[in-house]
Amino acid sequence: QVQLVESGGGLVQPGGSLRLSCTASGSPLDVYDIGWFRQAPGKERKEVACISSSSGTTYYGDSLEGRFAISRENAKNTVYLQMNNVQPEDMAVYYCATVFCQPYGVGYNDKSFWGPGTQVTVSS
C-alpha cells in the first residue's frame, strides 16, 4: 500500500508563498488521484484541491484557484501545492490523500490513504 508524507509547511507572512509537497512511498504514485485538504483548529476538514493521476483533471475548492496551484511529478512520486498570496485564513494543517478527482469535486472513502499532515502558520 502507499504511504504519503507531507512536507514544506511552516511559518509564512501574509502575502507570502509556500510550496507543500506530498511524497509517496511503497507504491508508485502515478496510479492515484491525489487531493489536498486542510483543517483549522475547531473547524471541519475542507477540500483544497485535487489532481488526477495523469494531471488531466484538477479541481479547486472555495475559490482557491488563482492563489493555489496543484501539480505533480510522477517520476518523483510527488504532488505539489503551490500557495501564493497566503492569507491568515489559510492557516491550518494540510493533508494529502488518495482520492477520486473530478472537475466538479473530490471524493474519498475508507480505502483512501492519508498523510500525517503539515502545519502552515500565517503570521507577521
User: pLDDT class for 95, splitting at 50, 70, 90?
Assistant: very high
CB-based contacts of 5, cutoff 8 Å, min separation 6: 22, 23, 25, 115, 116
What's the length of the chain? 124
| The pLDDT of residue 65 | 86
User: pLDDT class for 55, splitting at 50, 70, 90?
Assistant: confident
Reported as a single tens digit per residue, the pLDDT across 15-40 is: 999 999 999 999 999 999 999 999 99
Distance CA 2, CA 50 (A): 17
C-beta of residue 65 within 8 angstroms of C-beta of residue 59? no
Is the pLDDT score of 107 beyond 90? yes
Residue 41's Cβ-side half-sphere holds a number of Cα atoms within 13 Å equal to 5
Where b means 16+ CB within 10 Å and e means fewer, 75-111 reads: eebbbbbebeebeeebbbbbbbbbbebeeeebebeee
**Percent of the chain at pLDDT above 90?**
91
Is the pLDDT score of 14 beyond 90? yes
| The pLDDT of residue 75 | 93
Residue type at 109 in one-letter notation: N
Least trusted range by pLDDT, from 7-16, 63-72, 85-94:
63-72
